[in-house]
Amino acid sequence: MRGSYREIGRAVGEAARPLIAAAVDYYRRHLVAMAGIDFDAAERRTGEYLAYARRHLPQYVEELEGMAEGSRQTVSTLMVPNCGEELTCPVDERAPRLPGRRPAAADSPPVGRLPAAPACTGVAVLCGGRRIVGHNMDWYAVDVDKNVLFDVTCPGGTRFLTIAGVPYLPILGLTSHGIAYVGNSVYSSDARLGVPNVFVRRWALEASDLASLRRRVTLPWRARGSNHTAADRSGALIDVETSASAAAEVRVDPAGAAAAPAGLPPAGDAAGGASDDRAGIWYAHSNHYTLPGMVRFEGYWAEESRARLARAGRLLAEGVERGDDAFDLVARVLRDHAGTPDAICGHPEDGPPRPDQSTTVASMICDLDAMRLHACPGPPCNGAYREYAL
């Protein structure tokens, strides 16, 4: 699809109208279990975030307005799922209380309520002449049947491919600028009223290069933090961890040498590394802070994120050292079940899913060399990746 932002959103809304209606109905009936707040109160709260998005990233508000028109919903209704992180990713009681402007509504999700949907594992492998980025999106199990393949050409000419649920704005994917971009939720203790993370990441998806992407994900008016991992066809990689008020990054140049500020994180963090002869680079991230200077913003202390990251790091390090094919290695990591129920490839419990139950709702692998997106709805162990050319 192509056109203005409103036309793009309207096309999505019209094509996915039944899926959007089902998703909104589920949020309306179960948001208390998911976020500790009822839907009407969430609409009022997210209206304050909408004002920031309209002021700083109005083009994506237009896209959401188009989706609302096409799906016969209201913008205020669609803002609730598009502020999912702002509503459902509170800090836990062990997080340091840092200064930060809290939402004006003041009734943010309670401290101590752990997130139901920890959300996402991202990996990248640059070795053997290959450049592969992969991602499992973990979110509420009800979304597993609401995936849509997006092939979008934006008004500025950027084209992207991605798999994403509706009624959310797309926030990751493979782009015509030769960039593969993925991201993970983190739980920053300085969250505040501002531009919701979905809008920030939607903007980042159109970045023309990694430097532009870095500038976009550090938008000064962002409401909260996130992790952003991106690689390009030259073999450069960047990972940016943000909170609402701070950011840190790690970069790898096309030759494979680590760059500022501190190179790849320490091996003990299991976040990144290289083979002994530097013939390969790997990187992984889950849902907690790993970079120097950002741990003080940590608001999520559950071990499951650290276990997934350690497992991904171990598999990637071993595979790169053996010289495994980069694509096969990434696919194997994303299908891994070690540590169930806290595995990289997540599954809901047997029986009807609880409202707050999470699973891997979609998986994608970006092949930057072939400029192909490989997408799988649901847990990737249960289905095949389908290939789409950009």
Token digits of residue 133: 């980025």
* Residue in 77, 88, 61, 65 with CA at minimum distance from that of residue 24: 77
Neighbouring-strand partners of residue 241: 227, 248
More confident: 109 or 339: 339
What number is the average pLDDT over the span 241-260? 80
Burial (CB count <10 Å: 0-12, 13-18, 19+), residue 260: exposed
* Banded model confidence at residue 351, pLDDT cuts 50, 70, 90: confident
- What tokens were used for 325? 């094919």
Q: Say which residues have a Cβ less than 8 Å from residue 126's Cβ, sequence separation at least 6.
A: 132, 231, 235, 237, 252, 256, 280, 281, 282, 326
pLDDT band at 107; cut points 50, 70, 90: very low
Kindly tell me if the per-residue pLDDT of 270 is higher than 80.
no
- Going by pLDDT thresholds of 50, 70 and 90, the confidence category of residue 253 is confident
Tell me which residue has tokens 């091996």. 267
Query: Checking phi first, is residue 139 left (phi over 0); if not, alpha (psi -120 to 50) or beta?
Result: beta
Confidence at residue 269, expressed as pLDDT on a 0 to 100 scale: 52
Q: What is the pLDDT of residue 276?
A: 45
C-alpha span between 6 and 381 (Å, rounded): 36
What digits encode the pLDDT tens for the residues 372-383?
999 999 999 999
Residue 268, pLDDT > 50, answer no
For 169, the 3-state DSSP assignment is coil
**Chain-centroid distance, C-alpha 106:** 26
Residue 24 in this model has a pLDDT that exceeds 50? yes
Mean pLDDT of the chain: 89
How far from 291 is each of 192, 261, 274, 283, CA to CA, in Å?
22, 10, 17, 13
Q: Are 281 and 252 in contact (CB under 8 A)?
A: yes
Of 157-166, 211-220, 259-268, 356-365, least confident by mean pLDDT is: 259-268
Q: Is the pLDDT of residue 118 over 60?
A: no
CB 280, CB 287: distance < 8 Å: no
In the block, residue with structure tokens 């975030």: 49
Least confident among 8-17, 257-266, 309-318, 319-328: 257-266
Residues 242 and 228 sit within 8 Å (Cβ to Cβ): yes
Domains of the chain with bracketed CATH: 5-88 (1.10.10), 121-389 (3.60.60.10)
* pTM score, whole prediction: 0.91
Q: Can you give the length of the chain in residues?
A: 390
> What is the predicted pLDDT for the residue at 265?
44
Provide the pLDDT for residue 313.
96
Q: Tell me: pLDDT of 364 over 90.
A: yes
Mean pLDDT for the stretch of residues 222-237: 97
What is the per-residue pLDDT for 255?
58
At residue 158, does pLDDT exceed 80?
Answer: yes
Q: What is the pLDDT of residue 85?
A: 94
